[in-house]
Structure 1
Amino acid sequence: MAFPLPRGLTPSEIEFLAEMEMVTVVPRQRLEGLELLGGPTDKLVPPQRASLPLWLALLLKRQRRVNIVPPYWLQPESLQLILQFETETREYADAFSPPPRLPGQRRSGRREYSPSSSPPLQPSRTGPLYTLDGQRYYPTPPFLPQNTALTHSDASMPNREVALPYHWLEVGHMLLDAASDDLPEPDQVRRLLKDLREVRMAKMRKGIEVLDTAAAAGGGVALTGVGAMEIGEMRGFVAGVVDGLRKIGASREQARREQMAEEGPGMGYQGTQDEDTSMDL
Structure 2
Amino acid sequence: MAFPLPRGITPSEIAFLAEMETVTIVPRQRLEGLELLGGPVEPLVPPRRASLPLWLALLLKRQRRANIIPPSWLHPDPLGLILEVESQHQDYKNSFSPPPPLPGQPSINSFGKEANPRAQYTPDGDRYYAAPPFLPQNTAHGGDFTKETPALPFHWVEVGNMLLDAASDDLVEPDQIRRLLKDLREVRMSKMRSGVDVLDAAATVGGGVALTGVGAMELGEERGFVAGVVDNLRKIGASKEQARREQLADQRANGQYSATQDEEEDYMEF
State the TM-score, normalized to the length of structure 2.
Answer: 0.89
CA RMSD of aligned residues (A): 2.6
CA deviation after TM superposition for structure 1 residue 215, in Å: 2.3
Count, aligned residues: 259
Q: Which amino acid aligns with 1:204?
A: M
- Match in the other structure for 2:63: 63
Whole-angstrom distance in 2 between the partners of 1:50 and 1:237: 40
1:85-111 CA-partner distances (Å, limit 9, x unpaired): 11121111010000001233124x89x
CA deviation after TM superposition for structure 1 residue 267, in Å: 5.6
CA contact 1:102–1:124 (8 Å) conserved in 2: no
CA deviation after TM superposition for structure 1 residue 174, in Å: 0.3
Whole-angstrom distance in 2 between the partners of 1:141 and 1:268: 57
- Match in the other structure for 1:247: 235
Q: Which runs of 5+ in 2 are unaligned?
A: 264-270
Whole-angstrom distance in 2 between the partners of 1:42 and 1:125: 26
CA deviation after TM superposition for structure 1 residue 124, in Å: 7.5
- Match in the other structure for 2:268: none
Give the one of 144, 163, 171 matched to 2:135.
Answer: 144
SS of residue paired to 1:205: helix
Give the one of 111, 119, 124 matched to 1:133.
Answer: 124
Equivalent residue runs for 1:166-177 within 5 Å: 166-177=154-165
Whole-angstrom distance in 2 between the partners of 1:267 and 1:124: 67
1:215-257 CA-partner distances (Å, limit 9, x unpaired): 2220100000000000000000110100000000011111111
Give the one of 179, 187, 194 matched to 1:206.
Answer: 194
Matched, 1:178 2:166: yes
Matched, 1:92 2:92: yes
How much identity, in percent, do the aligned residues show? Answer: 69
Give the one of 228, 235, 247 matched to 2:223.
Answer: 235
Equivalent residue runs for 1:143-162 within 5 Å: 143-150=134-141, 159=147, 162=150
Whole-angstrom distance in 1 between the partners of 2:133 and 2:116: 15
CA contact 1:27–1:66 (8 Å) conserved in 2: yes
Q: Which runs of 5+ in 1 are unaligned?
A: 111-119, 275-281
State the TM-score, normalized to the length of structure 1.
Answer: 0.86
SS of residue paired to 2:73: helix
Equivalent residue runs for 1:1-281 within 5 Å: 1-107=1-107, 127-150=118-141, 159=147, 162-264=150-252, 270=259
CA contact 1:101–1:124 (8 Å) conserved in 2: no
Whole-angstrom distance in 2 between the partners of 1:158 and 1:39: 30
Whole-angstrom distance in 2 between the partners of 1:134 and 1:267: 70
